Amino acid sequence: MRDIAAAISEAGEHSKGVGVFTPARSEKEYADILPVDFDLIPQRGDGFGERLINAADDLLHVGFESCCLINSDSPTATTDAFREAVRQLQGAGDGIVLGPSDDGGYYLIGMKKFYRHLFQEIDWSTERVFAQTLERAREIGLNVHLLPKFYDVDNGAMLRRLCEELLGANSRGAVAPATSKFLSRLITREGRERIWPAPASTIE
């Protein structure tokens, strides 16, 4: 969350970070995670789709000209991708912005107007989310601007991929520094074999 929040903060002066948090009355838990200039609003709703619907509705109703809903488990998503989303939403037209994830979902959805239908009849937490969202946009008649693809870290395979990208021999130092630091501490404490097993040797 620290790395994603930092990327959002760096996306430009025409954007504003807002943490949509849960559970209620837990604002203090985010004090050392989110930048001080972030606002906080509580999540509303029971299921994941309902919470997304309410978050978009709340943000657009308090005066934002557009909003992007961004996940909290894609730490390598870049400031450049978020800047591109902001530019698209500030332009002419009334389309939406989608940032696809490798697992068939999305890490970002952005819009200028509230479209409840974008979040309806979606099989949340499956590989069908992105395709179904595109279908809902087509049904409404919305143009869709696609951002670069990133990945969610929600299983062991993606954790190993993240470790390789951030800590491996070909790592790009400046990417997700807070996550890199956390992973290094975690591996030291838990042991590499549990968190990031070395690849098996090839015998010829």
pLDDT band of residue 174 (cuts 50, 70, 90) is confident
- pLDDT at residue 200 in the model: 65
What DSSP string runs through 126-169?
STTHHHHHHHHHHHHT--EEEPPPB----SHHHHHHHHHHHHST
Cα pseudo-dihedral 99, 100, 105, 108, rounded to 10: -10
- Measured at the CA of 203, the angle between CA 201 and CA 204, to 5 degrees, comes to 145
- pLDDT at residue 202 in the model: 45
Q: Which of 166, 162, 164 is nearest to 174 (CA)?
A: 166
Q: What domains, with CATH codes, occur in the chain?
A: 2-146 (3.90.550.10), 156-195 (no CATH)
Of the two residues 203 and 160, the one the predictor is more confident about is 160
Q: Are 107 and 144 in contact (CB under 8 A)?
A: no
Q: Determine what percent of the chain is predicted with pLDDT higher than 90.
A: 84
pLDDT tens digits along 78-119: 999 999 999 999 988 889 999 999 999 999 999 999 999 999
